[in-house]
Amino acid sequence: MIWSTGLSLLVGLAIAGALIATNDPGEILRLLLETGWGMLAVIALHGTQIVASALGWAPLIDDPRRPGLPALARMRWIRGATNALLPVVQAAGELVRAQLLMRKGVAQVKVIASVAADLGTEMASQIVFSLLGLAVLLLIPHGGGDSTLHWAVIGTALGAAVTGVFIAAQRWGLFRVVERMLPGIAARIGWNSVGELTGLHDTVVRLYRQPGRLWRSGGWHFASWLLGVLETWAALRILGVEAGLAEALVIESLGQAVRSAGFFIPGALGVQEGGYVLICALFGIPPERAIALVLVRRLRDIALGIPGVIAWRWDVMAERPTPSPSPTRPLHER
């Protein structure tokens, strides 16, 4: 873990700790303890999001050796687990799922192209989701002033700009640069067949010239975001918050935008907690319950993440060749 990541993690932990300490920790703990079996519903609903995200990735893997939905869902699960639990920036999960897909026999260049295009369609669908949340915010009663809406619009616009630049860069030569940097990249992540990644730029561009694949991918990712609304609604209910689906949509869409903005901090620690306090305040939800909502999500990440990281490490260990025993020498040579 490089020093900058470690520093951002410490800052995030400090912010999250300060928010909890200044907003009645006892009440937050009580709310979490009273969730009971409702936590299982939250975990199950998140599982449907993982499946929908896997369906969004599948159309972009242009290779006959593409594994089936169960294997892709498992890779997405492990990707989320590493992003949530390991003290690294969220991009590490993309590397992990790429390595897992390559172990299934899919060509390296097609693996990296699919991950890059998948990130593009996922980001684009999130922008649409955020715009939907803003539209709903304008239509329902809330306690936020013009400044709250102003910052929400600015945040969504910045996210759309970043997404546009990312997609344009993929088409205009981003991966030509990556191809030139392959020797150094391969040395860091342990890829030996660097030659197989030649033509990465052309493969990415070819994917972007197939709108049918992109629309199917984006549609499934948008469905995944909508399933997140149900998860947020269920989490609010088990915390005793009488919120409807409209409020849950606004909280989920803007909350995900805040989390994306905190990508440089592992797990968006502190950023997510602070963002949810501000967003939930729009609907009169007290800070204690807003922080408890974030902690419910973090408990969900732990419940799904620990088995996911174990499964990933198990796969890595299973792939390592067992060293052959040294031949036994005759007694007279010993």
Residues in the chain, overall count: 334
216-250 pLDDT, tens digit each: 999 999 999 999 999 999 999 999 998 889 999 99
Q: With bands split at pLDDT 50, 70 and 90, how would you rate the model's confidence at 79?
A: very high
Tell me the C-alpha distance between 65 and 71, whole Å.
12
Nearest by Cα to 50 from 170, 221, 167: 221
- The CA radius of gyration of the chain, in Å to the nearest whole number, is 22
**Residue 13: inside a domain:** no
One-letter amino acid at 8 equals S
pLDDT score recorded for residue 58:
96
Task: Give mean pLDDT, residues 56-71.
Answer: 94
Residue 332: the pLDDT is 46
Domain count, the chain: 1
Contact between residue 48 and residue 56 where contact means Cβ atoms under 8 Å apart: no
Q: How far apart are the first and last CA of the chain?
A: 46
What pLDDT is stored for residue 330 in this prediction? 47
In a domain, 326, yes or no: no
Answer yes or no: is 8 within a domain. Answer: no
Q: What is the token pair recorded at 164? A: 């546009």
User: Does 134 reside within a domain?
Assistant: yes
Mean pLDDT for all residues in the chain: 81
Would you place residue 192 in the very low, low, confident or very high pLDDT band (cuts 50, 70, 90)?
low
Please give the full DSSP string across 18-35, using - where no structure is assigned.
Answer: HHHHTS-HHHHHHHHHTT
Residue 73's pLDDT band, with cuts at 50, 70 and 90, is very high
What's the CA gap between 112 and 200, in Å, rounded? Answer: 8
Q: Looking at the domain assignment, is residue 330 inside a domain?
A: no
Instruction: Quote the CA–CA distance of 199 and 111 in Å, as a whole number.
Output: 12
How far does Cα 283 stand from its chain's mean position?
26
12: helix, coil or strand?
helix
103: amino acid identity, one letter: R
- 246 found inside a domain: yes
Residue 15 falls within a domain, yes or no?
A: no
Of 119-133, 166-180, 208-222, 263-277, where does mean pLDDT reach its minimum?
166-180
More confident residue, 290 or 172: 290
The residue-averaged pLDDT of 195-201 equals 67
**pLDDT (tens digit, 9 = 90+) per residue, 82-132?**
888 876 655 678 888 988 999 898 988 899 889 989 988 998 898 889 889
Q: Which helix (H) or strand (E) holds 79?
A: helix 69-85
217 occurs within a structural domain: yes
Tell me the pLDDT tens digit for each residue of 24-35: 888 989 999 988
- 113 near 217, Cβ under 8 Å? no
Domain ranges, residue 138: 23-310
Per-residue DSSP letters for 156-218? HHHHHHHHHHHHHHHHHTHHHHHHHTHHHHHHHHT---GGGGTTHHHHHHHHHT-HHHHHHHH
